[in-house]
């Protein structure tokens, strides 16, 4: 944890995201990872929210997502989510979101692809963003 090019986001595991046993329902880690990603864009990468999420020319849908669970996350507990850009191509990047408490609990990896808003087709990462994403690449 605490890589030079990582972003840490602290969050509470809310009761409404857990199952009857008080453990986070598996699919909700994706929502928490995306919430942390929004804060990463705003606070760490320092790109205006509307420029990223409401751009008139392009959008960045998630092409692939996966999660590996090691230790249950429980209602009422806090965790740190460490975000890192772990790979970058001409039109996409892969984000790793690692959930920690006293140990690594879960890792979410997501592949985000830049697409034209008009055609829906894959496009190169827009020039204003490429240097910023490259700067935050961890590997």
pLDDT bucket at 139, cuts 50 / 70 / 90? low
42-72 tens-digit pLDDT: 988 888 899 999 999 999 999 999 999 999 9
pTM of the model: 0.91
pLDDT bucket at 2, cuts 50 / 70 / 90? very low
Count of other CB atoms within 10 angstroms of residue 36: 23
Pairing of strands 78-88, 92-100: antiparallel
Under DSSP, is residue 125 helix (H, G, I), strand (E, B) or coil? coil
Domains of the chain: 7-135 (3.10.129.10)
Per-residue pLDDT, 128: 87
Helices (H), the chain: 28-39, 49-53, 130-135
């Amino acid at each position: 944890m605490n890589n030079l090019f990582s972003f840490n986001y602290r969050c509470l595991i809310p009761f409404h995201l857990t199952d009857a046993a008080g453990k986070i329902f598996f699919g909700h880690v994706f929502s928490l990872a995306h919430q942390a990603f929004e804060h990463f864009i705003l606070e760490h990468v320092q790109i205006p929210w509307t420029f990223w999420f409401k751009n008139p020319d392009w959008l960045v849908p998630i092409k692939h997502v996966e999660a590996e669970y090691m230790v249950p996350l429980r209602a009422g507990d806090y965790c740190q989510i460490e975000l890192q850009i772990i790979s970058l191509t001409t039109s996409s990047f892969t984000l790793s979101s690692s959930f920690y408490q006293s140990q690594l609990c879960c890792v979410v990896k997501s592949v985000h692809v830049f697409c034209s808003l008009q055609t829906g087709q894959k496009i190169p990462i827009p020039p204003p963003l490429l240097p910023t994403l490259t700067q935050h690449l961890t590997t």
